[in-house]
Chains A and B, each alone.
Chain A
Amino acid sequence: GENVEQHPSTLSVQEGDSAVIKCTYSDSASNYFPWYKQELGKRPQLIIDIRSNVGEKKDQRIAVTLNKTAKHFSLHITETQPEDSAVYFCAASNYGQNFVFGPGTRLSVLP
């Protein structure tokens, strides 16, 4: 079955700096890769996603890149703000079925 690894497990950056979180997956059949943000005690919220037929997607300060050959995808947050502090999860899925999540990255943005 699919296996998703995520690094780093914790990340601290200064406000205004960039943050990068990386994930790898094992199943070449996976074709949908979302990123979720989860604040303490809240439900996960989708922040950006990418399909396997696209190499990069950007939404304001957030971008995701996908390398299908190497089976890895990354989340990039630029100009970080204190409200970006949260736990971020990557996931992989085959046509919206059988989602497998990474273990999460705790991002702290220091003022």
Chain B
Amino acid sequence: NAGVTQTPKFRILKIGQSMTLQCTQDMNHNYMYWYRQDPGMGLKLIYYSVGAGITDKGEVPNGYNVSRSTTEDFPLRLELAAPSQTSVYFCASSLTSGGSYEQYFGPGTRLTVT
């Protein structure tokens, strides 16, 4: 299993540009999550999904959109990028059966908006 994979690893955007961060997991996990982590800070949940076709907002959803058309993929869309969106973005997934909610994180995407 590759686990949770994210692309790209790094990206530089100009203000106002848009992009999609890709996230794929091959563990047949039902839950998936997007977080951002600013330098020296904790993780903030942007959006999460409990299954294909179902998404919900986390703590910091403004400026982002998500979709979950398949179990495996959970892309994060940034529209009209702003410098405040400069951060490291982590995708995660978990299999919520048997009372386990352990999250498996991807390697992250480092995004700079200038």
Contact = CB atoms under 8 A, between A and B. Distances in A.
Interface of A: 1, 6, 32, 34, 43-46, 49, 51, 89, 91, 93, 95-104
Interface in B19-61: 31, 33, 35, 40-45, 48, 50, 56, 58-59
B45 A99 contact: yes
11 contacts: A34-B103, A44-B43, A49-B101, A95-B101, A97-B31, A98-B48, A98-B56, A101-B44, A104-B40, A104-B41, A104-B42
A46 B103 contact: yes
A101 B92 CA distance: 14
Interface of A, helix, strand, loop or mixed by DSSP: strand
Contacts of A44: 43, 90, 105
Given A89-B42, A89-B43, A104-B42, A99 B103 contact: yes
Contacts of B35: 101
A23 to B, nearest CB: 11
Interface residues of B, number: 25
A64 to B, nearest CB: 14
B42 A103 contact: yes
B94 A96 contact: yes
A104 B94 CA distance: 22
